[in-house]
Amino acid sequence: MGSFRACQHITCKERKAMRKVVSLLLTALIVLSVSAAGAESAPVEGKVVSTQSYAIVSQVKGVIEQIRFSVGDHVNANDCLATVATTKVYAPVTGTVYMWGKEGQNTQSVADQYGAVAYIEPSSPYTITTNPVDANGMPVSVHPGQKVYLICVNDGKKTGEGVIVSVSNNEYTVRVEKSNFQPSDKISIYTTPDHQKNNRIGRGFLKKTETVSATGTGYIVKTHVSTGDKVNYGDLLFETIEGSFMPGAVSLNQVFFPENGVIESISVSRGQEISENQTIAVFYPDSTMRIRALVPERSLYEYQIGETVYITYQNGNVSQRPFIGKIEKISQIPEQTEYTYDTYYTVYIIITENNHSLFYGMNVLVYLQNPYQDIP
């Protein structure tokens, strides 16, 4: 009761003084709170994004032979994404080759200058073209690749061997592989080395073998022979591919990545035919990796272009050393968000150190001061 009475005796002047003291205390608390908030700003949420994707466009036309990477793989500049099957050109005869074309050249350009990509001087000096008939003039069956045995009609002594290289229009041609014939000799052709009459399949005159050309279409990817080499029928001479290339291009049947990055999508598969200028993959270059953070309007004044920030995993270990970043730009257009009580602006941050442990789509936190000063 005594205390109550004492309070009743407080004058109006004393009440005003007490109100003034309480007001000063509240003001001091507000200032301290604002100062503390400024000294250690709350982090903002961010996400790892790519500011620009890059389409891998094929310069070649053909069938995909191999895909060497998968979606999500990190690749380096000049890594080969895919190889395209080449067209292979083989030696049409056995002989000595004269190679005019070089890797990277257009076959039509070489042919315009030299007549063909390569020539072969046949080791066999003669061919025989005749009708497939037996000793009685009756038709017989022959086929390309069939080995035959030869004898000179003139003297019945000179012999040789050959191979049927073509059959068409009731005629066939024999390439003489080895013999001691003379250009004017007439030759009988047999299916057996004993030259039995009932095994005869034709007669004809020797014809001097002309130089044989080898050409192709598109660009020369690789050569397998050089001028002066001895080649056999069926040996691989060179490989070509269709496409459009810059002068000096190499490895024409391979599709490369132009820089380091991460594969976002692959739109072709092995065995698929592709055309020139077809997009076969999309990837995010490392140079386009950014942290995209949304900053509320009330805190935007604290973020300055060029200033250093600190990034941590949003759900990671707090002992993890933060990534160092730099504010690249701040959008001046507000972002549409689900938060109606505040306005947000997009801040883009460059990672200024090795970023291989940051993956696209990863959620992070962005700090203006290092949250873990004691971590080296």
The answer to whether domain 55-85+255-278 and domain 87-121+213-243 are alike in fold is yes
What does DSSP say about strands 323-335 and 60-67: parallel, antiparallel, or unpaired?
Answer: unpaired
Report the run of H or E that residue 265 belongs to, with start and end: strand 261-266
In angstroms, rounded to a whole number, what is the distance separating the alpha carbons of residues 188 and 133? 11
Question: Considering just the CA atoms, what is the radius of gyration of the chain in Å?
Answer: 42
Check residue 24 and give its pLDDT. Answer: 42
Can you tell me the distance from the alpha carbon of 169 to that of 166, in angstroms, rounded to the nearest whole number? Answer: 10
For the domain spanning 55-85+255-278, the CATH number is 2.40.50.100
Segments making up each domain of the chain, as ranges = 41-50+287-367, 55-85+255-278, 87-121+213-243, 125-208
Distance between alpha carbon 43 and the CA centroid of its chain, in Å? 40
pLDDT score of 355: 66
Q: Residue 130: what residue type?
A: T
The 3-state DSSP class for residue 268 equals coil
Which residue stretches of the chain have pLDDT < 50? Answer: 1-8, 21-39
Beta strands of 297-369 (E only): which ranges?
A: 308-313, 323-335, 344-351, 363-367
- Alpha-carbon span 55 to 264, nearest angstrom: 10
H/E stretch holding 57 reads strand 54-57
Q: For the domain with range 87-121+213-243, which CATH number is right: 2.60.40.420, 2.60.120.20, 3.40.50.300, 2.40.50.100?
A: 2.40.50.100
Can you give the pLDDT at residue 244?
84
Tell me if 349 sits within 8 A of 39, measured CB to CB: no
Q: Which pLDDT score, from 0 to 100, does residue 315 have?
A: 72
Q: What are the tens digits of pLDDT across the range 87-131? A: 999 998 889 999 999 999 999 999 999 999 999 998 878 999 999
Q: What CATH number is given for 125-208 in this structure?
A: 2.40.30.10
pLDDT digits (tens, 9 = 90+) for 145-170: 999 999 999 999 999 999 998 999 89
Ramachandran category for residue 167: left, alpha or beta (phi over 0 → left; psi -120 to 50 → alpha):
beta
Instruction: Give dist(CA 189, CA 162) in Å, integer.
Output: 9
Look at residue 35 in the predicted model and tell me its pLDDT: 39
Q: Determine the CATH number of domain 41-50+287-367.
A: 2.40.30.170
Tell me what the pLDDT averaged over the chain comes to.
86
The alpha carbon of residue 317 and the mean position of all alpha carbons in its chain are separated, in whole angstroms, by 37
